[in-house]
Structure 1
């Protein structure tokens, strides 16, 4: 995966509007689960690409440092050879002096080459450093967005469970509504009232029967009294 592709995906995912996506989703929880998987996978891929880019940058920085150090060392060698040539020339050893001057020139050529290589690498190093900084920033945004996604999912699941519990409670309350004439409680109450009415009927019936018996007893008492009085009349009492 190229740096440009990674940068594009990092930027696209980091700018994703979660709330807008949720509004468009038929199943928000399923969509969030999929987004979390996508983010996690992309973060893993991006981390690998960033690590590779950083590794290449560090190698370039090491090569650049080596070129800078080589240029310094060749400069010191050129200076040493030039001074040696000067000493030899003063002492009349022109041939040896020329040889050391030639060595100084060779060293200066190596110094110039190392400086050019170091200078050529500097723009690339600067560009790669900028890329790495953007990738690191994008990764942090993606991780932050992943945390936001996970929090949204947890919130959504909690709200769904709460709504489900409320619905279950309301269904239970509805099933035991004492004002509902079709409820089991109402039917049981009707049954109790019918039994109570039956008991009242039996009591009333029993009371009527008892009154009739007492009335009959009163009638018998009156008849006996009449017979007694009649007998007394006949006997001349």
Structure 2
């Protein structure tokens, strides 16, 4: 009865509800599958025992029927010889074996019903096990896909971060060049608004230095772009 109660509990288990309540659904399903496999093995063993008992009971019933027939023949023989007392004793033996045979026959019927019930239970539990295994495999596949997506997202983020790091110096260099060009333009505007004769020697060198700075930054920018093209 303990075995059948455990099996009944497994059969009544709502896998979807268990998944919803479980902290680790995949682990819970694996444990449920192990429990079902264990109970299925035990039920299978009980089915085999029940079938063996069937054969044993049928054998004992047949033995009692054969003995009852044998004593009945002996009773006929005793009657034919006029030995009524011996005939009565033989008939009592025959009746005793007949009753025992009927008892074994009833046990056989009961055992057959039990074996059939165990077979049905085994079939249902086997189907439940396959269903649970399928759900376990599906959840494991979902978990694998989730891990793959997480890794892919992480790789994409890392690639984007690396790309940002690679382009940041280039952007900064462009910004420097733009600032230098703006300074140069402002300086030229100031120079054109003033008389060249009034321009100091320092101002003329300052213009040359800014021009040189712009050209240097431009050269660095071109070299940076060339390196990136070669690396790509």
Contact 1:47–1:139 (CA under 8 A) maintained in structure 2: yes
Unaligned runs of 5+ in 2: 189-232
Which residue number corresponds to residue 224 of structure 1?
none
Residues 89-135 of structure 1 show CA distances to partners (whole Å, capped at 9, x for unaligned) of xxxxxxxx323x43333322221111111122333322222111111
CA 1:147–1:188 in structure 2 vs 1: closer, same or farther (change >3 Å)?
Answer: farther
Which residue number corresponds to residue 216 of structure 1?
none
Contact 2:57–2:105 (CA under 8 A) maintained in structure 1: no
Q: 1:71 aligns with which of 68, 71, 75?
A: 68
Q: 2:164 aligns with which of 183, 200, 203?
A: 183
Deviation beyond 4 Å, 4+ runs, structure 1: 194-198
CA distance in 1, matches of 2:148, 2:31: 26
Which residue number corresponds to residue 30 of structure 1?
27
Report the TM-score, using the length of structure 2 for normalisation. Answer: 0.67
Unaligned runs of 5+ in 1: 86-96, 209-237
Which residue number corresponds to residue 108 of structure 1?
91
Aligned counterparts, 1:188-203, within 5 A: 188-191=169-172, 193-194=174-175
CA 1:119–1:171 in structure 2 vs 1: closer, same or farther (change >3 Å)?
Answer: same
Contact 2:50–2:115 (CA under 8 A) maintained in structure 1: yes
**More contact order relative to length (CA 8 Å, sep ≥ 6):** 1
Deviation for aligned residue 1:164: 1.3
Deviation for aligned residue 1:22: 1.0
SS of corresponding position for 1:121: helix
Which residue number corresponds to residue 230 of structure 1?
none
Report the TM-score, using the length of structure 1 for normalisation. Answer: 0.66
SS of corresponding position for 2:61: helix
Contact 1:176–1:185 (CA under 8 A) maintained in structure 2: no
Aligned counterparts, 1:124-143, within 5 A: 124-143=107-126
CA distance in 2, matches of 1:40, 1:142: 9
- In angstroms, what is the RMSD of aligned CA positions? 3.0
Rg larger in 1 or in 2?
Answer: 1
Deviation for aligned residue 1:185: 4.3
Which residue number corresponds to residue 43 of structure 2?
46
SS of corresponding position for 2:23: coil
Q: 2:140 aligns with which of 139, 146, 157?
A: 157
CA 1:78–1:192 in structure 2 vs 1: closer, same or farther (change >3 Å)?
Answer: farther
CA distance in 2, matches of 1:162, 1:188: 37
Which residue number corresponds to residue 21 of structure 1?
18
